[in-house]
Amino acid sequence: MNLLEKGPIPYLEGDKIQRQVHAEVAAGQRPDTLILQEFEPTWTAGRRTKPQDIPDSSLPVIEMDRGGSVTWHGPGQLVCYPIVLMREPIDVVRFVRDMESGIRGAIEGTWQVKTDIVKGRSGVWILREGMIDRKICAIGVRTAQGTSMHGLALNVNPDLESGFGRIIPCGLADASVTSLAEMGVETTLQQVANALVPHLETALRRSQRVNNVHNS
């Protein structure tokens, strides 16, 4: 369900698609599926969101049943939901680590931008000497009926200040955000999707009950 060609869509429209696909995958009516989307500007609040994480309510704030705190979605950001029937016993931490591995492989292998992970914090980070830690890709997932949902938000070329400047991204006051554009990469969401999908497919095979991923 590659919606990048449509341009940004309302967040709840994309969420409705995700939940329909999740139900079909969980019921064995559809293979594991990667959903790729770009959203209209909104903030989503995960289960760990505190009131002080959203000091500005000028954008819609949508409460979601995923892990993590508040984040921004909007134009210039690639959102990918891996809807995967997971191997038992289900290990969500390993699933997140596998996602991080796939994201890092795509960024480093395609654009030679060094990325990192931060102990105790999910997502993919840019760590540079003398600079605050900056997250380039947020991750928030959950499982239901043995199947994963939600996923990752990779900043390609968004307006970081308007998107993240009025919240505490991911509830981390001692960190910041960045993007591929800010790291000197000139690319499009579709090109990033093309690079990301094969890396994610490979990385997530360890967590899949059946190694069969469909990019839609």
Q: Which of 4-8, 58-62, 104-108 has the lowest mean pLDDT?
A: 4-8
- Tell me whether residue 170 is one of the annotated catalytic residues: yes
84, 138, 170, 213: the catalytic one is 170
Residue 3's pLDDT is 46
pLDDT band at 19 (very low <50, low <70, confident <90, very high): very high
- Mean pLDDT for the stretch of residues 91-119: 97
Please give the single-letter amino acid code of residue 193: A
pTM above 0.95, yes or no: no
The answer to whether 181 touches 136, Cβ cutoff 8 Å, is no
Q: How far apart are CA 153 and CA 123, in angstroms?
A: 9
- Average model confidence (pLDDT) for the chain? 89
